[in-house]
Amino acid sequence: MSEVELQRPDSPWAPILYDAFVAADVRHVTYVPDAGHARLITMLRGTPGIATTVLTTEEEGVAIAAGAWAGGQRAALLMQSSGVGNCVNMLSMIASCRMPFLAVVTMRGEFSEFNPWQMPMGRATEQAFEMMGVRTLRIDRLDDLADQMSSATTMAFESDQAIAIILSQRLLGAKKWVKQ
């Protein structure tokens, strides 16, 4: 049996994202399980006052974010770049309703990618978001993450903007197949 392993399993970005969510009073975080977000998901699941929901597809997270907003709460969606294409139709709701939206996307299909199936969406991720009216903030260096997350949460939740933080594969570290 094989599984995907991160070259940086310590996920030094996870506490930065966690702190930004707490500071911004994010109350609901949705996700499709992903090795890149694993540490952050574990941290969030253990936090009173933050609900987490496992999704079957990323587009469900857009709908849950809309429901949270309608109910007066802040939400965020965690996903991998390969899931962005699943959300395109639902992202039209964000622009139509002029609602805040915050996504954190772990990239695939770039730096040291081993899986050719990840390449097309890896190239199209930022353009897909931009075409649907979601502003992207790309993070390539850990030193930039806290400042950019603070900016993203302010733009999303204070200015009712749609924002996607893009965590580059270089920042995350390449994934590789490991035989068990």
Average pLDDT score over residue span 75-86: 93
Residue-level pLDDT at 112 = 66
DSSP run (H or E) holding 152: helix 142-159
pLDDT in the model for residue 8: 53
pLDDT in tens, 93-152: 998 898 999 999 998 767 666 676 776 677 889 999 999 999 999 999 999 999 999 999
Q: Which CATH number fits domain 2-179: 3.40.50.970, 3.30.310.10, 3.90.245.10, 3.10.105.10?
A: 3.40.50.970
pLDDT above 90: residue 51: yes
DSSP state of 55: -
Each domain of the chain, given as residue ranges in start order, spans 2-179
The pair phi, psi for residue 104, each rounded to 5°, is -120, 120
pLDDT at 2: 43
Let me know: does 174 contact 5? Beta carbons within 8 Å. no
Length of the chain in terms of residues written: 180
Whether pLDDT at 63 is above 70: yes
DSSP 57: S
pLDDT tens digits, one per residue of 13-50: 999 999 999 999 999 999 999 888 999 999 999 999 99
Strands 51-54, 74-80: parallel, antiparallel or unpaired by DSSP? unpaired
pLDDT band with cut points at 50, 70 and 90 for residue 1 = very low
* pLDDT (0 to 100) of residue 156: 97
- List 65's β-bridge partners, or say none: none
Looking only at the bridges linking them, the beta strands covering 175-179 and 2-6 are antiparallel
- Identify the burial level of 112 via C-beta atoms within 10 angstroms of its C-beta, where 0-12 means exposed, 13-18 middle and 19 or more buried: exposed
